[in-house]
């Protein structure tokens, strides 16, 4: 059975307290890193960006449609201008001039129809641009909230890490002064069980929170004071003291 002086074993409780603090800080960091507000905002931002992308595509398509409508109007207007100039010149047969007048009337009707299309597209484009602007505001708002919460969490995480750095330094300094053999057993137990050492207080293991059976207590009481004994339930080192019996 591994051995260490009772006074040395008592130091394991101080080491365990430091390790418990590190465990608590690590847990705190995980909670901060998994803050549900970040997850919710990321989901909301994904949806908002998708809607903004759709709004941008709709605006792009409407702009292309408007450009085509403007080109169509311009093309008809240019033809009307040429035909009017030809008509005003008075050259050509009378029947050709009559036909030209009819063609100009038809083109004017065509231009009117195209201008109506152009106006409809322009009005629709204005509405789509307004929708895009509104969606951009939503995205900007979510990003602003995300940045604010992220900064808040980063600050909190930095504080946790700074405290953990101090505690790790304290632990390293404290552990350096412990019996090497006992420390190795403690470290192995901590890695395996999650708790390295705990008090045996009035027959109760503070490692498991359970009262030990009479048989287990009898076995532990029979062990030498410098024997390293273990909790039968949690597997951690049980630290004994005469006043705790």
- The CB density around residue 15, as the number of other CB atoms within 10 Å, is 20
What are the angstrom distances between the C-alpha of 114 and each of 15, 58, 176?
A: 85, 21, 88
Overall size of the chain counted in residues: 245
Name all domains of the chain by residue range, CATH numbers in brackets: 6-27+179-244 (1.10.287.1490), 35-163 (1.10.287.1700)
SS3 231: coil
pLDDT in tens, 86-130: 777 766 556 766 777 788 888 888 989 899 999 999 999 999 999
Cβ-based neighbours of 164, under 8 Å, separated by 6 or more: 22, 25, 26, 29
Lowest mean per-residue pLDDT among 1-5, 81-85, 194-198: 81-85
Identify the band that residue 206 occupies on the pLDDT scale cut at 50, 70 and 90.
very high
What are the angstrom distances between the C-alpha of 43 and each of 32, 47, 142, 154, 235?
A: 18, 6, 10, 20, 43
Residue of 158, 156, 134, 147 whose CA lies nearest to 41: 147
pLDDT in tens, 138-166: 999 999 999 999 999 999 999 999 999 99
């Amino acid at each position: 059975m591994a051995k260490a002086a009772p006074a040395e074993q008592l130091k394991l409780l101080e080491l365990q307290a430091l390790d418990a603090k590190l465990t608590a800080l690590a847990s705190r960091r995980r909670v901060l890193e998994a803050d549900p507000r970040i997850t919710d905002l990321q989901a909301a931002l994904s949806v908002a960006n998708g809607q903004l992308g759709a709004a941008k595509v709709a605006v792009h398509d409407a702009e292309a449609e408007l450009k085509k409508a403007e080109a169509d109007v311009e093309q008809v207007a240019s033809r009307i201008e040429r035909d009017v100039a030809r008509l005003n010149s008075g050259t050509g047969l009378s029947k050709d001039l009559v036909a030209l007048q009819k063609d100009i009337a038809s083109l004017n009707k065509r231009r009117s129809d195209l201008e109506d299309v152009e106006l409809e597209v322009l009005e629709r484009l204005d509405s789509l641009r307004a929708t895009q602007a509104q969606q951009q505001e939503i995205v900007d708002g979510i990003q602003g909230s995300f940045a604010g919460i992220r900064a808040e969490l980063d600050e909190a995480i930095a504080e946790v890490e700074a405290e953990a750095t101090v505690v790790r330094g304290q632990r390293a300094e404290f552990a350096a002064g412990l019996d090497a053999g006992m420390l190795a057993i403690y470290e192995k137990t901590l890695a395996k069980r999650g708790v390295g050492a705990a008090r045996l207080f009035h027959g109760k293991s503070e490692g498991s929170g359970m009262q030990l059976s009479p048989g287990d207590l009898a076995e532990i009481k029979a062990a030498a004071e410098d024997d390293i004994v273990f909790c039968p339930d949690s597997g951690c080192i049980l630290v004994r003291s005469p006043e705790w019996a």
